[in-house]
Chain A
Amino acid sequence: MLILDLSKISFQFEILLFTCGRHLNQLVMEETSQEPLISLNVDYDSGNALKETARWTKFISIVFMICIVIFLVVMLFAATALNVLFSSLIPSLSSMVGGAVIVIIIFVLGVFGFTSFLLYRFSTLVKKGIEMQDQELFNKGLSNLRIYFIINGVIAILSLLSNFSTLIKQLLH
């Protein structure tokens, strides 16, 4: 009798475990199925916005790169003329200072060229990432935009400081 009762109890316990397990399983499944609802997705709206952004940034970066190349070509051809112009404007200007001016111009053009390249990389990688469903490409594109914005931010801070110094000079004079 006791053995029968024990087997009954153990059977009921098994049923209880089974139902608990099912409930637990359901809960886990619900949680995992809720995960995408909580996370942020590249849905239709954001995908479209990013694709359109990529289109415009591609255009802007290509225009900038062409402008930089044209400017460099003009500089190369007019280097001697520019040197003559500098020395006629400021006679005390040595050739070394003229060279330094050219180096500064090339540095500024290099920075602008690099930022344009970053913008171009962002546009191509994000567009490819969305079209090919490649998370890694998409992240790489965003990483390029991140570096672009950091450089832009530093340039913005420097130009603001320069604006302030101009204002202070005007106030003092």
Chain B
Amino acid sequence: MENQLDNIFKISFDDNSRGHLKTISMWAKITAICAFVGYAVALVSAFLGKNQSSSYVTSEGFQTNSLVRGSSIAGAFLVAIIGVAINYFLYKFAVDTNEGISNIDQQKLNEGLQSLKTYYKISGILIIIGLSLLVLFFIFIMLFSPPRP
């Protein structure tokens, strides 16, 4: 254990790695802010779509269209909530890491790196959930698809 601790302490954030981390934090901040704004825009456009389609529904009488629009808004909400939750950690990573490097604050830098870890951890878990759902979907299709003559 002690040996492992020594090993970790022998590497430092030198000028080179600090420069890399500064650029990483800057672009991570841009990505996170773009994501936040993008989710807001997607929500607004989903609502606008809903308003336009409701006028269309009343004139044409397609109830299914309104159902599809409603589900698209719910989908946009779900995506926005998950996306904001994930990108919050990316934003926190960017801010804390930048602060840690600028003020030579080890604590802040560590907090930033912890946020990066959480960001990728949540992303990985979501990918596992998505893949599991995909596999279940294929199994469902294979089991319940009508047999070909």
Tally of A-B Cβ pairs under 8 angstroms: 141
Tell whether, in the assembled complex, residue A160 and residue B38 are in contact, meaning their CB atoms are under 8 Å apart. yes
Tell whether, in the assembled complex, residue B10 and residue A133 are in contact, meaning their CB atoms are under 8 Å apart. yes
Q: Which segment of A21-29, A43-51, A104-112 sits at the interface? A: A43-51
Q: Does B8 sit within 8 A of A, measured CB to CB? A: yes
Q: Does A14 sit within 8 A of B, measured CB to CB? A: no
Given contacts A135-B12, A142-B21, contact A56 B7 (CB under 8 A): no
Give the interface size class of chain B.
Answer: 35 or more
Given contacts A49-B116, A60-B124, contact A44 B8 (CB under 8 A): yes
- The residues of B that contact A157 with a CB separation of less than 8 Å are 30, 34
Interface residues of chain B, those whose CB is within 8 Å of chain A, are 5, 7-14, 16-18, 20-21, 23-24, 27-28, 30-31, 34-35, 37-38, 41-42, 44-45, 48-49, 52, 100-101, 104, 106, 109-110, 113-114, 116-117, 120-121, 123-124, 127, 131
Interface residues of chain A, those whose CB is within 8 Å of chain B, are 36, 38-47, 49-50, 52-53, 56-57, 59-60, 63, 129-131, 133-135, 138-139, 142-143, 145-146, 149-150, 152-153, 156-157, 159-160, 163-164, 166-167, 170-171, 173
